[in-house]
Structure 1
Amino acid sequence: MHPLFHYVNKYTVISEEDFKVFISYFTPRRIRKKQYLLEEGEISKHIAFITKGSMRQYYTDEKGIEHIVNLYIENWWVCDRESFAMGTPSIYSIDAWEHCEVLLISKENTLKLRSQCPAFNELFLRLDELNTIATQRRITYSISFTAEIRFKYFIDNYPYFVDRFPQHVIASYLGITKDTLSRIRNKIIKQRFF
C-alpha cells in the first residue's frame, strides 16, 4: 500500500476504497537534488508530501547568508504555510537536499478534499495542532536555552536528521555556528562514552 495511506492512518482512519479517491487529488513529481520546490518571491501553490528524499526551507538575509527554517524527510509535509494560505509571495526558498519524490496537492484540491473527505479534514486539523506545538517549542528553546540544550533536544527528538543533513545545515537550523556545534558534539560524545 502507498506510504501516504499508512501515514494518514496514523492520525485518522481511511479505507482503501476512500484512499483511491483521496490520492487522486495529488500529482506525483520528482525533484532533483538542489532543485527548488519554491523560490523566494513565488507564491506557494502546492503542499508536498515527501515519499522519498529530504528538503530544507530557508531564508536568505541581505548579506546572502542562508538561515534554515525547517528540515524535511520522508513522510513530512512541505510548504510555506503563510504563502499558501494568504496567496502572498514567499520570503523563503524550499529546495531538495537529496533527490526527492513528492506528491503535490493544490490549494483548490486541498479545499475540495477537506470538504469531501472527513479523514483529510481530520488529518489537517491534527497536523495544524502538531505544527503549532512544534513551533511553540522551537521558539521557546531558541530564546530560552543554551546551544547545548538546543542540540540535545534536537538529537533526542529528530535523530534521523543527524545522518541526513551535514553539520553546517543543522547548525543553521539551531541558530548557532558550525564551530559551536562541533564543540558541543565533541563534548556530548565524550560525556556519553567516557
Structure 2
Amino acid sequence: MYDLLIGNIRELVPITEDESKLIQKSFEPITLNRKQYLLQSGEPCNHMRFISHGCVKLYNLDELGAEHILQFGISGWWINDLYAYLTQKPATFFIQAISESTVLQIHRDRLNELFDKIHMMDRFFRIKTQNGYVALQERTINNMSQSAEQRYLDFIVRYRDIEQQIPQYMLASYLGVTPEHLSSIRKNIRGH
C-alpha cells in the first residue's frame, strides 16, 4: 500500500530507508466505498492526500446544484482542495470516490513534523505544489482557448487510464460540456 507513495516521493527527491519508514508511519490509510466522500464542501481541509488505489473526483456544485469536476485522481496521484488546505479556510470542493479506493492521508501537524525531520519532504511538497499550479493554469488556458473537441482529444491522450474508469457524464462535466455534446464529439471523431 505504501510502496506507491514512497515511489512517488522518490521520483522527485531522495529519501533513506529510515525516512521511508517514518513517512509510512505518518500517513493514515482511509478506505472509501464507491460514492463515499473523503471531503465535503464546508469542512476543514487539514490533510494532504495520496491515492493508493482506485479513482476519485474533486468537484464543486454551482448555485443550481450542477456538478463541476475540476480534477480526477487515480492510483499514484495526489488530490486535495489545496486552496482550503493552504489558507485553512473551509473546503469549497467535494472529494468523492468513483470506485472503491484507498487514500493515504497525513494531517498538517504530522506533515510539519516530517518537514522538520526530513528536509527533502519540504522540497517534495514545494515541487508538487508548483506542478499543481502549472497544471491548473494550463487547464484554465485550455478551457478558454480550445474547442470542446480539442479538450477531449487532449484528455484522452494525457489521461487514457482515467477515461476507462469514469462514466461519460463525469467526463462531460470535467470538459465543461453536456453528455449529449460529448457523445456527438466522440461520434464525430470516430467518423474521421
TM-score by length of 1: 0.94
What's the secondary structure of 1:164's corresponding residue? coil
Provide the aligned length of Structure 1 versus Structure 2: 191
CA–CA distance in structure 2, aligned partners of residues 164 and 19 of structure 1: 30
What's the secondary structure of 1:133's corresponding residue? helix
What's the secondary structure of 2:141's corresponding residue? helix
CA–CA distance in structure 2, aligned partners of residues 154 and 35 of structure 1: 25
Aligned to 1:46: 47
Name the amino acid aligned to 1:82: Y
The Cα of 1:14 is off from its aligned counterpart by 1.4
Give yes or no for the alignment of 1:124 onto 2:107: no
The Cα of 1:118 is off from its aligned counterpart by 2.1
Q: CA RMSD in A?
A: 1.2
What's the secondary structure of 1:170's corresponding residue? helix
CA–CA distance in structure 1, aligned partners of residues 19 and 69 of structure 2: 37
Q: Which runs of 5+ in 1 are unaligned?
A: none
Q: Which runs of 5+ in 2 are unaligned?
A: none
The percent of aligned pairs where both chains have the same amino acid is: 31
Aligned to 1:173: 174
Aligned to 2:29: 28
Name the amino acid aligned to 2:178: T
Report Cα offsets for 1:33-84 as digits up to 9, x if no partner: 1111111111112111111111111111111111111111111112111111
Trace 1:86-125 onto structure 2 (pairs within 5 A).
Answer: 86-125=87-126
CA–CA distance in structure 2, aligned partners of residues 80 and 110 of structure 1: 16
Aligned to 1:146: 147
Aligned to 1:71: 72
CA–CA distance in structure 1, aligned partners of residues 11 and 55 of structure 2: 21
What's the secondary structure of 2:102's corresponding residue? strand
Structure 1 stretches of at least 4 aligned residues deviating more than 2 Å after TM superposition = none
The Cα of 1:120 is off from its aligned counterpart by 1.2
Aligned to 2:8: 7
Report Cα offsets for 1:76-123 as digits up to 9, x if no partner: 112111111111111211111111111110011111112221221121
What's the secondary structure of 2:65's corresponding residue? coil
Aligned to 1:159: 160
CA–CA distance in structure 2, aligned partners of residues 15 and 120 of structure 1: 12
TM-score by length of 2: 0.95
CA–CA distance in structure 2, aligned partners of residues 46 and 127 of structure 1: 15
